Amino acid sequence: MTTSVNPATRTPFTIPAGVLASLLSALVAALCYLAAPRSFRPSSAIVAVLGLALPSEAVRCRSYWLMNQRLPAGLLIASIGIKATLLILEDLTKPIAKGAPEKSLEERSGLGVRSFFQWLVPLLTTGYRTHLEPKDLAPVDGVMYAASLETRFQRVLNIGRECLGPPPSRTNVILTCS
């Protein structure tokens, strides 16, 4: 319920704002249902939707509060609290399901955790307390394997060779350097 209590403060955007808020809630619920069981990483789409919804709801809440519409403002404060909690919970590192392949903490972390390198905290804590052993290290992200990096490197190297042309001969290099 995001409509104004006082009919004098209703605007042409009151009903569309409420409808859009309801559609957003349905979209987040659908995204949670579709993304959660299939992914080992928090959903970037859910984080983006909630991250974009929170500032707009905060502005609406402030507007209702300044118009002395305490009921809609209170409901929006509760909605903001719930969405902020969902945003924080969605961005946390997901646990590994039983029978699932081992994934690194980096692969299972959300955008916020990866942005601030929080996925390294357990490794740094272990290294602070004891000497690190190979068993303390998590598996490497699949895109960081040598085979994967070699194909990417070769592609970039071939593009560079095409742009620069053939390499100079030794005599040209010697003459240029002297």
Q: What is the pLDDT of residues 31-87, one digit of tens each?
A: 777 766 667 777 777 888 888 889 988 998 898 888 888 888 888 899 899 889 888
> CA torsion angle for 96, 97, 99, 103 (degrees, to 10)?
-20
Instruction: Name the residue with higher pLDDT: 8 or 23.
Output: 23
Encode pLDDT of 99-144 as tens digits.
666 777 777 777 777 778 887 888 889 989 998 888 888 777 777 7
Exposure letters 160-170 (e unless 16+ CB within 10 A, then b)? eeeeeeeeeee
Find where tokens 């903001």 sit: 80
User: Which residues lie closer than 8 Å to 6 by C-beta, 6 or more apart?
Assistant: 67, 69
- Backbone dihedral angles phi then psi of residue 97, each to the nearest 5 degrees: -75, 155
How far is Cα 122 from Cα 75, in angstroms, rounded to an integer?
Answer: 38
| Position 91 pLDDT exceeds 50 | yes
All structural domains of the chain with their residue ranges: 7-91, 117-177
Encode pLDDT of 166-175 as tens digits.
666 655 545 4
What is this structure's pTM?
0.58
Kindly tell me the number of DSSP H helices and DSSP E strands found in the chain: 7, 0
